[in-house]
Chains A and B, each alone.
Chain A
């Protein structure tokens, strides 16, 4: 167990809908990273938050947004969902902000858009 908790584990929703994925980082970790994993693209970095502030942005669509709350948990919001958004969404956490140090991954949320 990595100590990173993601909920829900599975999510099935229809096109056009909006969903929220939740991540609780390991105790003491200040950075949260969101990744999307699909069969054709592999693991793609979406966004990083450090202690509540956005720190780095990757290939995140405008329909997606994230935030990190004062208690350091993070939420990834996906809206106007399309079939192509079906993927595994992983959250990872690490102690620091710069450099990957050791990022620990959660078990992921499997999103299916129908």
Chain B
């Protein structure tokens, strides 16, 4: 079993839809959870960062962490064509400073 599992998609939604992206993980030592957005031919860009369990909201984006289920989610409200990108979850136990990434979900928001 891989440490971090993420459905690669692709996921196609109409503009204005609510998007739900998810990752599961197996390592209970993970404490830091992130979501990165990566546009084609660009580097990953940090979107959301959560420590331990709970929810975090930033504009149209909400990140949720459920450590009991080893499950994290990213919700995008009122999705826009500019949200079309690959979304990568990443996590870390904090002891070494390196991130374990999911393979990414490719999202396409159609006008």
Asked if A25 CB lies within 8 Å of chain B CBs, one says no
Given contacts A42-B102, A42-B104, contact A98 B95 (CB under 8 A): yes
| Residues of A contacting B102 in the complex (Cβ-Cβ under 8 angstroms) | 42
| Residues of B contacting A97 in the complex (Cβ-Cβ under 8 angstroms) | 97
Of A43, A48, A90, chain B has the most CB atoms within 10 Å of the CB of A43
- Per a CB cutoff under 8 Å, which of A45, A48, A58, A99 touches B94? A99
Contact A58 B98 (CB under 8 A): yes
| Residues of A contacting B90 in the complex (Cβ-Cβ under 8 angstroms) | 43, 100
By beta carbon, the residue of chain A nearest B102 is A42
Contact B42 A100 (CB under 8 A): no
CA distance A24 to B68 in the complex (A): 39
Interface size (A, Cβ < 8 Å)? 29
Which chain B residues in 34-79 approach chain A with CB under 8 Å? 34, 36, 42-46, 49
Asked if A113 CB lies within 8 Å of chain B CBs, one says no
Asked if A68 CB lies within 8 Å of chain B CBs, one says no
| Residues of A contacting B94 in the complex (Cβ-Cβ under 8 angstroms) | 98-100
| Residues of B contacting A45 in the complex (Cβ-Cβ under 8 angstroms) | 98-101
Quote the shortest CB–CB distance from B87 to chain A (angstroms): 12
Of B43, B96, B102, chain A has the most CB atoms within 10 Å of the CB of B43
CA distance A50 to B95 in the complex (A): 13
Contact A94 B98 (CB under 8 A): no
Contact A56 B98 (CB under 8 A): yes
Given contacts A2-B45, A45-B98, A94-B97, contact A100 B32 (CB under 8 A): yes
Which chain A residues in 55-77 approach chain B with CB under 8 Å? 55-56, 58
- Per a CB cutoff under 8 Å, which of B44, B97, B103 touches A100? B97
Asked if B92 CB lies within 8 Å of chain A CBs, one says yes
For this complex, 6 residue pairs linking A to B, each with C-beta atoms less than 8 Å apart, are: A31-B97, A42-B101, A43-B44, A43-B101, A96-B97, A99-B92
Give 5 closest A-B pairs by Cβ, nearest first: A105-B43, A42-B103, A56-B96, A43-B101, A99-B94
